[in-house]
Structure 1
Amino acid sequence: MITITNQEFKQIADFIKAHYGIYLKEEKRALVTGRLQQVLVKRNMNSFTDYFDYLVNDRSGEAITTLVDKMTTNHTFFMREAAHFHFFRDQVLPFWIHAIKDRDLRVWSAACSSGEEPYTLAMIIDEFLGKEQASWDSKVLATDISNAVLDVAKDGVYSNEKIEPLPNHWKIQYFNRHDADHSVLNNRIRNQVIYRKYNLMDKSIPFKKKFHAIFCRNVMIYFDNETKTELIDRLYDMMEYGGYLFVGQSESLNRDTTRFKYVMPAVYRKL
């Protein structure tokens, strides 16, 4: 195994933090070494200095894409932190359905991973709107920095074990059999989610309209306080007044400094 020096680890860690906000502490050294070994071997590199030179000089985008896929952990599942989805169904949707005049509901899954979160939101919205769905623009925007998980999400294929937490009538209504062990979301729900690659550290805002609800869960645990504060400020500016922000249950906002108002654990509102 090729070892990594202090200077090499610092170079890579600083690069990842500057571009993606991910703060790699010293205890992550073994993780970085292990996940990048295959890349070094494949490219016949003798050191992590060689790898870093390749990373900063590659113009194809391949090096960055591989680094992001190797360094991000995409652990998610259907109905994760289910209280959020229940609150979205019982409180957020009823409020906005009456408040929105142009029937343009804008919901963003800001670190969508392999798609379980945005598809769950799409199913909740579909069931809530019922026959009125056709008269609404209610597509869910789902973004992530990893091409690998976005490809999985777009396919919409999940093991039967993964969809087990979902209500039985959803499995019947929204899924078709893919093979003996897997099910695939039907086109109606898949078409209700728009997938885009987006880096949450991007200071520019590419979205024309502001959002009524943003799910940005279990991603800020990888950021230091400064990066987290900057992101929260951008999310606030990207949200309509009255909009709701959902973060992970292990995450929280500093109530003394944030412009968001606390609603319940891991749920905040722009008022």
Structure 2
Amino acid sequence: MSTATVSDFHAAMTSAGGPLLGDVEFQFLRDFVYKQCGIALSEQKRQLVQGRLLRRLRALGLKDFAGYCEVLRRDPEGELGELASAISTNVTSFFREMHHYDLLVGELLPRWLEAKKHGGRLRIWSAGCATGEEPYALAMVLAEALERTGSKVDARILATDLSPQALEHARGGVYTLERMGGISDERRRRWFLRGEGRYEGAACVHPRLRELVTIQPLNLLHDWPMHGPFDAIFCRNVVIYFDKPTKQRLFDRYAGLLEPGGYLFLGHSESMYGLSDSFELVGRTVYKKKVS
């Protein structure tokens, strides 16, 4: 193929679907994303990355991917959240993988609240909280356990994510009725306020749930400001994006923040097999930190 023909092809593609993601720019993005997010992008992901990042180019007023790469070089932290949000898929729902909540309600929360009734803190971390459904579902079962037992234990949920859009949604706490399918009618009445006016067809989480949840930005691969210890960490459908060495480092760090005998919850398609000696499998994608 002649140079003129290649140029004509690129021009046609650019005018038809936006600028092309060239080899140099894609390799830069692959290296950047792996270093900053631990996500390994294969060559097969090029078209997906190109399509999803076109919106960022338009939002930033950039004409090509070379310009976007330059933005990342100049201000990696400023654009990192937007980039990670664009290339990952935040699929979440209320009470997803219900067996995890059944374990909390039936066994763990009563045990923890009893053990801590004379002092101590109960802490749960939702790592990769996306748009907030997970931490608010956790807050529902926690609030119900506190009410049921009359406990005054200092109990809180930390919710973190890298995506600015997801965190904004989580902080707003407003969800369409279609996204609340996993919530029982009783819990809808108890823990949500029906929206009116511009929020018609949506509902807002109850202020009591907001009191229990702290929402903060966090890159799991960077420094963590919190020191724990946590009684449980939920990291579901997050490590599917990471390669083996990144998973191993992350699980080791989780073990360092968990109480002895603390619990780590993974997603339904995730496993810790062969990745850590600090945990033992105690249920479906439920791992318990070993007590040395």
Q: Flag whether TM exceeds 0.5 (same fold).
A: yes
Match of 2:231 among 197, 212, 220: 212
2:104 pairs with 1:104: no
2:240 pairs with 1:221: yes
2:180 match: secondary structure: coil
CA distance in 2, matches of 1:255, 1:94: 32
Q: Which residue of 2 aligns with 1:232?
A: 251
Higher alpha-carbon Rg: 2
Q: Tell me the alpha carbon deviations over residues 7-45 of structure 1, each in whole angstroms, 9 at most, x when there is no partner.
A: 221110110110111121111111110111133345454
CA distance in 2, matches of 1:14, 1:250: 26
**CA shift at 1:63, angstroms?**
2.7
TM-score (norm 2): 0.86
2:87 pairs with 1:76: no
2:192 pairs with 1:175: yes
Within a 5 Å distance, the mapping from 1:11-22 to structure 2 comes to: 11-22=28-39
Match of 2:216 among 180, 184, 196: 196
Which segments of 5 or more consecutive residues in structure 2 lack a partner in the other structure?
1-17
Within a 5 Å distance, the mapping from 1:45-84 to structure 2 comes to: 45-58=62-75, 61-84=77-100
Q: Tell me the alpha carbon deviations over residues 117-169 of structure 1, each in whole angstroms, 9 at most, x when there is no partner.
A: 00011110111121656622111110000111111011111111222321221
CA distance in 1, matches of 2:150, 2:233: 20
1:191 match: secondary structure: helix
CA distance in 2, matches of 1:49, 1:248: 36
Q: Which residue of 2 aligns with 1:88?
A: 104
Q: Say whether the 8 Å CA contact 2:247–2:275 is kept in structure 1.
A: no
Amino acid at match of 2:122: L
**CA shift at 1:94, angstroms?**
2.2
Paired positions, count: 269
Q: Tell me the alpha carbon deviations over residues 230-263 of structure 1, each in whole angstroms, 9 at most, x when there is no partner.
A: 1011001110001010000100002574310110
1:48–1:187 Cα change, 3 Å: same
1:3–1:266 Cα change, 3 Å: same
Within a 5 Å distance, the mapping from 1:249-264 to structure 2 comes to: 249-255=268-274, 257-264=276-283
The percentage of aligned residue pairs carrying the same residue is 37
Amino acid at match of 2:284: P
Q: Say whether the 8 Å CA contact 2:96–2:182 is kept in structure 1.
A: no
Point out the more displaced range, 63-72 or 140-149: 63-72
Larger % of helix: which? Answer: 2
1:97–1:82 Cα change, 3 Å: same
TM-score (norm 1): 0.93
Match of 1:163 among 180, 185, 189: 180
Q: Which residue of 1 aligns with 2:6?
A: none
Q: Say whether the 8 Å CA contact 2:264–2:286 is kept in structure 1.
A: yes
